[in-house]
Amino acid sequence: MAVDKLVDSTQLDADLTDVADEIRTAGGTLLPLSFPDDYVVAIGDIGNTEIKIASGSIAHFEDALARRAQNLTVAIEPVQSGSGDPSPDNVRPISGHTGAEVTRTGKNLLPSMSADETLYGVTWHVNEDNSISISGTASRNSIEDFGRGHLTLKPGTYTTNRAKDGVVCAIWEDSSPAQLIDGAGGTFVLTHDTPIFIRFYVPSGSTVNTTIYPQLEVGSAITAYEPYTGNTLSVTFPSEAGTVYGGDARCDTGEADGG
Domain extent listing, the chain: 9-45, 73-80+95-105+232-258, 117-223
Three-state SS letters, 230-245: CEEEEEECCHHHCCEC
pLDDT tens for 84-113 read: 888 888 888 888 777 776 677 788 999 989
The H or E element spanning position 15 is helix 9-27
Query: Which long-range contacts link 234-239 to residues 24+ away (Cβ below 8 Å)?
Result: 234/99, 234/100, 234/101, 235/99, 235/100, 235/101, 235/102, 236/98, 236/99, 237/97, 237/98, 237/99, 237/100
The pLDDT tens digits for 145-193 are 999 988 989 899 999 999 999 999 999 999 999 999 999 999 999 999 8
User: Residue 39: what pLDDT?
Assistant: 67
Residue with more model confidence, 49 or 199: 199
